[in-house]
Amino acid sequence: MNKNQIFLGKNGKTFGPFTEDEFQELMKQGRLAEYSWIWDHQKSTWKTLDQPPPTPVETSQKLSTAAKKAADHVSSHWESVRGILYNAFSLLEGNLKSVTETGCRFVCKDPHSDLSCGTWVSLNLYSPEINHGSTSIKVVAKILALEADPKGGWSYLLRWDSLPSL
């Protein structure tokens, strides 16, 4: 096995080989989240790509009153943000709701049949109130769920790696 080749794994399956350039492109596109493992040539074993989360006790202790206020501020800051959700086959325009550090709800009028759970999408975010809507931010996200919105339309639950900054 060539030590310059990179192998990735998920759900008991091996993917690759990837060149270093291909691996760097996966990183830039945010697509490494599609994989759980990377082969370590030196140790001849699989290594996890993601760090384990903190223990639940540590996490709950960190949620102080200040953190809860900051979370409320994050949500209200994003109320005016709109987005265009797309991949190679689909395009939707809608609003962001319930924005957190790890994702949001994207609410739109119509669902698109090519956008289903597990699909990776790009999301261009913009706000008419910030820079007069002239600046947009591109985020890569994964669709975790799709459901009918009680107020009409559809709601996509999206997960991203970190909260984008407007």
Run of H or E residues at 154: strand 154-159
State how far Cα 85 lies from the chain centre. 12
- Give mean pLDDT, residues 130-136: 61
Each residue of 41-71: pLDDT tens digit? 888 888 887 666 666 665 555 555 545 554 4
Each residue of 21-48: pLDDT tens digit? 888 888 788 787 888 888 888 888 888 8
Run of H or E residues at 108: strand 103-108
Q: Are 128 and 140 in contact (CB under 8 A)?
A: no
pTM over 0.75: no
- Where do the domains of the chain lie, and which CATH numbers do they carry? 6-48 (no CATH), 73-159 (2.40.10.220)
- Give mean pLDDT, residues 88-114: 84
**CA-based nearest residue to 96, from 115, 123, 121, 118:** 123
pLDDT > 70? residue 113: no
